[in-house]
A = this chain, B = another copy of it.
Amino acid sequence: MAIRILVNGAKGLMGQEAVRAISADPDLLLVGEAGRDDDLTVMISQTKAAVVVDLTVASAAFINASKVIDSGIHLIMGTTGLLLEQIHELQIKCKQQRLGAMIVPNFSIGAVLLMKYAQDASRYLGQNVEIIEMHHAGKKDSPSGTAIKTAQMIASHRCSLPESRDNTETIAHARGADYQGIPIHSVRLPGLVAHEEVIFGAQGETLTLRHDCIHRQAFMPGLLLACKKVVTLSELVYGLEHVL
């Protein structure tokens, strides 16, 4: 029997894409599209949803997440806007109910694999690694959240610390941002969408992991997978990698 899905934030660009993808999947049944003016708790009850996919903006994330989990319904939350203590509180709530839920900062399978391999490669080659992330001209923050998360994963698993090197910048900041010895370089240009490159260097060789995302369709296979897996979980997990 198809899993009953309610999409919150269904009018946004990601929401519309999700509505399309869920509707086309025979294992899933789209039972509702909630927007800003809807009462989420009421809609959950009316639609008899089994899963709420929340694609709203970060500011409403914690309130929405609490409503869904307090209703005893599986949650898939697609934002990065939660604080660690908020995630912790939601985890406790899920544990008490033995309720499956997912917080997914990046639904792209390619991006998740890149981070997984970057973490693994850092065990052998992590002493010398740099990240170049490239996004469309409209992206205002830098580095990207994914680049920072990648750097965190490398830093926590690397074989050895980077050597400190002499460096003279004849134009300031040429060496980019520094995350615990990992330089991160942010490119912003029209004609780009979302791209990340991790370059590991060693004597005589480099290993490059690159992810190019050019359309939000890239997030749909991961989102559909999350919908099918969350109902089999009995706790809150953070990151798509837990169900791959």
Contact = CB atoms under 8 A, between A and B. Distances in A.
A137 interface: yes
A26 interface: no
Given A110-B202, A206-B211, A211-B205, A168 B142 contact: yes
Given A108-B205, A124-B244, A173 B177 contact: yes
A209 interface: yes
A87 to B, nearest CB: 19
A86 interface: no
A105 interface: no
Given A184-B174, A214-B214, A189 B220 contact: no
Contact of A183 (B113, B148, B187): B187
Interface in A114-155: 114, 117, 120-121, 124-125, 128-130, 132, 134, 137, 140-143, 148
A190 to B, nearest CB: 5
B199 A189 contact: yes
A203 B185 contact: no
A199 B187 contact: yes
Task: Tell me if A's interface is mostly helix, strand, loop or mixed.
Answer: mixed
A193 interface: yes
A110 B125 contact: yes
A215 B186 contact: no
A234 to B, nearest CB: 24
Contact of A171 (B137, B184, B201, B202): B184
A178 interface: yes
A125 B174 CA distance: 23
Given A173-B177, A191-B202, 5 more contacts: A110-B206, A142-B167, A173-B176, A190-B202, A207-B209
24 contacts: A109-B205, A111-B205, A128-B137, A130-B187, A134-B199, A141-B167, A142-B170, A142-B175, A143-B170, A143-B174, A148-B170, A171-B178, A171-B179, A172-B173, A176-B176, A183-B188, A185-B185, A187-B199, A189-B199, A191-B214, A192-B201, A192-B206, A207-B209, A209-B210
